[in-house]
Amino acid sequence: MKARDPKANHKPVRKAVIPVAGFGTRLLPVTKSVPKELLPVVDVPAIQVVVEECVNAGIEEVIFITGRGKGGIEDHFDFNFELEKILEQRGKTEELKRVRAISELIRTIAVRQKKPLGLGHAVLCARDVVEDEPFMVVLPDDLISSQPSVTTQLIEVYEKYGQGVVSLMPVPEEEVSSYGIVTGENWAPSLHRVRTIVEKPEAGIAPSNLAVIGRYLLPPEIFDYLEGLEPDESGEVQLTDGLSLLAKERALVGYEFTGRRHDIGDKLGFLTANISYALNRDDLGPKVLKYMRRKIKEVDEPDEP
């Protein structure tokens, strides 16, 4: 695949779609009443972490695909005049600054997905807002620590090749059945020409070990493919089916991103994400590391009976 002419006319990536309508069943019982996207990564809601990733990549508008009980996500990025007034009266200048910065972070739009009909359907719900522009799809369950961010990395690949891009990560053979796995050819370091995506293949018959992870940069034509899909046996419209059609009839680039990924929709992933992000903070890192070393020593050297 050849790089496109850098002078070619193409629209910038200004919008990101973030599906947040899921129930978060892997994190029950806390997600019975609290949206999983608002669970904290140290002291920052997970959804804010991915929105800040979008902002830092130059995204100007975030489109939340929401469901019942997810109004708190929109509220988090709105102004809270009562809270701001109290903080101002109490002289909490730094806290007031942080609260206002969240509400001024980015323009947000909420679109309701009235029925849980799959990720492909959730993306399709954004069609009228995205219109005819390329756009990011960011899955908030996947927190990826990297510099530059994965969103920035995908935008750079898109600007060079002018095609849709999906983020890829090698996974152990025993885990391929949990992911969409790509087939295709490697033509440059970290870059692949995707031919199709096999959803959750069994170990031993998977076409590769390259899994699609929750960052996608898609052309607006993806909506036509998604609209024409029939629901699968579970009644859902799968985004991977639309991506396979896009790869077959147009082109789709797979990019092996650099960064550390945490699946915070999983209990262990949620815990490791909190530890990892805390260790990277100047105010908490040394204290957390000291605590972990003490606990490891206690395990290695248990008290004598």
CATH number, domain of 131, equals 3.90.550.10
* Residues in the chain where the model's pLDDT stays below 70: 1-9, 302-305
User: Strand 164-170 relative to strand 252-256: parallel, antiparallel, unpaired?
Assistant: parallel
The pLDDT tens digits of the residues spanning 28-82 come to: 899 888 999 999 999 999 999 999 999 999 999 999 999 988 889 999 988 888 9
Q: Please state the length of the chain.
A: 305
**How far, in whole angstroms, is CA 50 from its chain's centroid?**
6
- Residue 183, classed as helix, strand or coil, is strand
Instruction: Classify residue 3: in a domain, yes or no.
Output: no
Instruction: Classify residue 36: in a domain, yes or no.
Output: yes
Give the pLDDT of residue 297. Answer: 87
Residue 259 structural domain: 15-265
CA of 277: how far to CAs of 46, 164, 231, 246, in Å? Answer: 11, 30, 38, 36
As for how many domains the chain has, the answer is 1
> Using CB atoms within 10 A of its CB, is residue 275 exposed (0-12), middle (13-18) or buried (19+)?
middle
Residue in the block written with tokens 């508008």: 61
Answer whether 187's CB lies under 8 Å from 193's CB: yes
17: nearest Cα among 218, 156, 245: 218
Instruction: Classify residue 189: in a domain, yes or no.
Output: yes
pTM: 0.90
Instruction: Classify residue 275: in a domain, yes or no.
Output: no
**Rounded distance, CA 108 to CA 113, Å?**
16
Instruction: Classify residue 295: in a domain, yes or no.
Output: no
Q: For the chain, how many helices (H) and strands (E)?
A: 11, 13
Residues β-bridged to residue 217: 136, 165
Answer whether 122's CB lies under 8 Å from 21's CB: yes
Give the tokens for residue 274.
């909190």
Instruction: Classify residue 26: in a domain, yes or no.
Output: yes
Instruction: Classify residue 166: in a domain, yes or no.
Output: yes
**Rounded distance, CA 268 to CA 87, Å?**
35
Instruction: Classify residue 211: in a domain, yes or no.
Output: yes
Give the pLDDT of residue 6. Answer: 44
The crossing angle, in degrees rounded to 10, of helices 93-103 and 81-89 is 160
